[in-house]
Structure 1
Amino acid sequence: MTTEKVEAPASRRNFLKVTALAGAGAIAMPNVSRAQTVTWKFQSTWPTKDIFHEFAGDFAKRVNDMSGGRLKMDVLAAGAVVPAFQMQDAVAAGILDGGHGVSAYWYGKHKAFSLFGTPPALGWDATNFLSWMNYGGGYDLYNELVGQTLKLNLVGFFSGPMPCQPLGWFKKELKSPDDFKGLKYRTVGLAADLMKEMGAAVTILAGGEIVPALERGVIDGAEFNNPSSDSILGFQDVAKVYMLQSYHQAAESFELLFNKAKFDALPAEQKAIVKYAAESASSDMIWKALDRYSKDLDMLRTKGVNVVATPEVILKAQLAAWDKVLEKLSAENAFFKKVVDSQKDWVKRTVAYQRINEPSRELAYTHFFKA
């Protein structure tokens, strides 16, 4: 008995082939999001040539790359749409979609803003500050300030732990706390209260305005942030004394602001991209900063800049001034006190751990490099 092969009808064979190909395609094709493409105007509070504006671009590139271009940050420099100190208002109003700056710039609206930008020198650094923001209740307090107390149409993320900021640039070296009395000095945020407590006459200026004011004698001394930013702004052309180490801004980080209504309207995946791009850029920033700041400090020395450490007597006077500033402002505002108390509780525990866990870097460095 022979068995004959029975052919499936042509229509059935074609159906099976099409179904198989469709199944293979479904497996091979990635699950591509069909989210609508959105372009946002994202302005920094920094001049184009400043490394801080570069950091803003680094964050934006991460968003653009991770979203596949479906959420695009169009990066603009300070003044492109509004002046630096008007960026927050412009984002809240929807004139800008987002911005890159520091929360100390909004200190005039509520002094607690500076606690999220230039917090007191409690013995922590900016990486520890970001730990407090994420795991010590900092974001809850920040959102209470922005959303409940001031009712601002904003969403903020903190990114980029800054190294301790220099005391600044001067025509002559400061050697005692008395040298601050009557000194016309530029800073921002709570550092303004601190330096006023030490006797200085404080002027608050945006980054691009500082060097011209120092050159004209409108101010006697100024700080901005770091060797790279300071050299690009041209401080070394108008002053030759660069004093490092200070407690006026020892734990600062950047603030990324977005219009809340527009952010809330994003798909969940794009919201996540913004959050995780901020965290990714935070790590990259400190890696890049250590490379660039150290190189640019060496460069400044070759330009005849006298780089000196701030005397301990001035550092101790700063800490004593912090005591007075925090006591005064905490007595005036319950929310300010609430934030400071949270920060102190966090630092007391976490820095105690760091102090007992970490050996002296000074000891190891001098052993190998005899500095």
Structure 2
Amino acid sequence: MKKLLTAVAASAVLLTAGIAHAADPTVRWKMAGMFGSSFKPIGGHIVAMTKKAEQASGGSLKIRFYEPGALVPVPGIFDAVSQGSIEAGYAGIGFFTNKEPGIALYNAAPFTPDLAEFMAWIYYGGGQEVLDEVLKPHKIKAIFCGVLAPEAGGWFRKEVNALSDLKGLKMRIGGLGANVLEKVGVSTQALGGADVFPALERGVIDAAEYSNPGVDESLGFDQAAKYYYFPGWHNPTSPEWLMVNTDAYAKLTAGQKAALDMACGDTVARSIAEGEVVSMQALQRLRAKGVQVRRWKPEVVNELRRMWYAEAERLSGENANFKKIWTSMSNFRKAYAAQHELQRLE
């Protein structure tokens, strides 16, 4: 009898869950991608996220992923989501600073928090709330939904032992890191992925940063430059985001929103784990090929940091939303550093 009652109770729970899911209307979204499904490792996680969201919603939330350019050009994802011509896009939102300069701080900015600190700020330190406020006029809701492994500092054809060694170099670098290097005397270029290797190989540029070891190895940069510098001061953490039109998001039921949050949370965890392993293994292979893996000299990092903080203050003076985000991040980091120092092992 006890076993029978247990079985009946379990069946009731399952039936109730089924009824709850059945009550949710079927939603079909189109999602434009900035990264292809074969872009390792994040591409696979993007596709898996859509399947998990569908499963967790009992099949009521169906998101169709489109490869980069198949639905809208990558530079057009922000506008397409904002205008509601597509429901969602998956991208590094720092790519769209021409629409909102401050969002670079959520994806591609120098000396920003490491992963643990960034996650604390986003989930519990006010970072998500500020992002929601900044993106609200654009009718976009951004959900933290994945991470690329930390970037490297770049590939160089010669050693860099002092800041003066950077002066006069032609370098591929994107984002706000370029602003800092230009102050040093670097001529920066924001080349697309397919154009970086040929330019480096032919000597059109002297150095290039692109991504992390796992990605860089696949592009063959080691065949054109032998000095590989760490860490990636220009982009310490590379969070990726599910950008959703706010009207489309508002139409979701509470259960569908929860399914989306859970699917993205799982994507964050798994992309972190796989990204670290992919980069670790790639770096081992690159060392075996004779690549000279180097760390920046402390005095170089310190000077770049000083210049970045000056640049951040300048940008804060030019854009109210940049200032709002920078202030939130900076205030959180001060409090975080105070307690984190107590936890640090000597």
TM-score computed with the length of structure 1 as normaliser? 0.82
Tell me the CA shift for residue 112 of structure 1: 0.7
Is 1:56 matched up with 2:46? yes
Is 1:204 matched up with 2:190? yes
Deviation string, structure 1 residues 29-75 (Cα, Å, up to 9, x no partner): 34311233333222321244322322322322321332233222222
Tell me the CA shift for residue 128 of structure 1: 0.9
**Cα distance change, pair 303–135 in 1 and its aligned pair in 2 (3 A):** same
Residue in structure 1 matched with residue 95 of structure 2 by the alignment: 105
Is 1:145 matched up with 2:131? no
Tell me the CA shift for residue 28 of structure 1: 6.7
Residue in structure 2 matched with residue 301 of structure 1 by the alignment: 287
Tell me the CA shift for residue 25 of structure 1: 7.9
Helix, strand or coil at the partner of 1:74: strand
Q: For structure 2, which runs of at least 5 residues remain unmatched after alignment?
A: 1-8
Residue in structure 1 matched with residue 5 of structure 2 by the alignment: none
**Cα distance change, pair 333–117 in 1 and its aligned pair in 2 (3 A):** same
Deviation string, structure 1 residues 181-220 (Cα, Å, up to 9, x no partner): 2322222322222222222222223444433443444433
Deviation string, structure 1 residues 313-341 (Cα, Å, up to 9, x no partner): 32122112112202211222233223222
Inter-partner Cα distance in structure 2 for 1:112 and 1:215: 34
Equivalences for 1:256-271 in 2 at 5 Å? Answer: 256-271=242-257
Q: CA RMSD of the aligned region, Å?
A: 2.6
Residue in structure 2 matched with residue 92 of structure 1 by the alignment: 82
Partners of 1:127 and 1:161 within 8 A in 2:
no
Partner amino acid for 2:108? T
2:169 aligned to 183, 202, 205, which one? 183
Helix, strand or coil at the partner of 2:25: coil
Helix, strand or coil at the partner of 1:31: helix
Is 1:29 matched up with 2:15? yes
Moved more, 313-322 or 58-67: 58-67
Moved more, 196-205 or 134-143: 196-205
**Cα distance change, pair 24–77 in 1 and its aligned pair in 2 (3 A):** closer
Helix, strand or coil at the partner of 2:50: helix
Inter-partner Cα distance in structure 2 for 1:321 and 1:311: 16
Partners of 2:37 and 2:47 within 8 A in 1:
no
Residue in structure 2 matched with residue 235 of structure 1 by the alignment: 221
Helix, strand or coil at the partner of 1:315: helix
Is 1:350 matched up with 2:339? no
Deviation string, structure 1 residues 145-174 (Cα, Å, up to 9, x no partner): 111xxx212110123355542111122222
Partners of 2:149 and 2:279 within 8 A in 1:
no
1:195 aligned to 181, 187, 191, which one? 181
Paired positions, count? 335
Partner amino acid for 1:88? F
Q: Which structure is higher in RCO with an 8 Å CA cutoff and minimum separation 6?
A: 2
Inter-partner Cα distance in structure 1 for 2:286 and 2:201: 18
TM-score computed with the length of structure 2 as normaliser? 0.87
Equivalences for 1:238-257 in 2 at 5 Å? Answer: 238-257=224-243
Residue in structure 2 matched with residue 283 of structure 1 by the alignment: 269
